[in-house]
Amino acid sequence: MGAFSTCTGLTSITFNSATTTIYDYERTIPATTKIIGYDPSTAKDYATKYNITFEVINLATNDIYRGLVAYYEFEGNANDSSGNANDGNIQGKVTFENGVIKKAIKFGGVYNPGVVRVPTSDSLKFSDALCISFFTKIDDTTGVTGYGAVEKYGFHTVIAKSHDTSGTAIWSVFYDDCLSIVYFSDWYSYPQFSISGSAKVNPKNWNHVVLAITNNSAKI
């Protein structure tokens, strides 16, 4: 979440978050400045209140958002900020804590599990390629095997498309001072496509992971 106060000399300003804090004063942003942002958003609320021109952000022409189908800020909820309405439903033990930029979601772990379930939609049906980016850290290495058995250095499901033991899944695991990310294309189909990547990191620090996948390749 950013904060804006007394901006001058601007012809336009773009807010790439639905929940940016704008100081509630009519001169914070000049009346001649066009505001570009999400609908709905705090930026649109400000523009409406002070009669400033507002333009809905065009995801298709914005390089940062081109092809974006889901974006979760986890500011106390699991709402999708991409504009595609892929909102998540929180179930079980889930809390929120300070993250890298704003808030982050925290799951209860093996013995007190939580999950965010996102209903299927056309925008989440990938055919050619996808890219997934997230920050992760592990407070407790206790996880599970691919068959559900609990072990000291087990897997932690980050994303599962279908469910945890079949379908596409992305797991994280920490062992021997290495954080490993494992991707399975399909748990039960053969030939099975999977990749993994490891790096020596502190698991209790935030680590940024990007996974890019096409029909015939994948890269972590």
Q: What is the pLDDT of residues 33-88, one digit of tens each?
A: 999 988 878 899 999 999 999 998 765 555 556 678 899 999 999 999 888 899 99
Q: Is residue 115 one of the residues assigned to a domain?
A: no
Per-residue model confidence as pLDDT tens digits over 5-21: 556 677 888 887 777 88
SS3 128: coil
Note the residue count of the chain.
Answer: 220
Residue 73 lies in a domain: no
* Cβ contact 181:209 at 8 Å: yes
- Residue 97 included in any domain: no
Q: State which of 29, 56, 83 marks the end of a domain.
A: 56
Structural domain harbouring 142: 126-219
Query: How many C-beta atoms surround the C-beta of residue 88 within 10 A?
Result: 19
Answer whether residue 151 is part of any domain: yes
Does residue 185 belong to any structural domain of this protein? yes
Write out pLDDT tens, residues 25-34: 888 898 999 9
Tell me, what DSSP letter sits at residue 163? E
Distance CA 108, CA 114 (A): 6
165 is a domain residue: yes
Domain count, the chain: 2
Per-residue pLDDT reduced to its tens digit, 195-204: 666 677 777 7
Radius of gyration of the chain (CA): 20
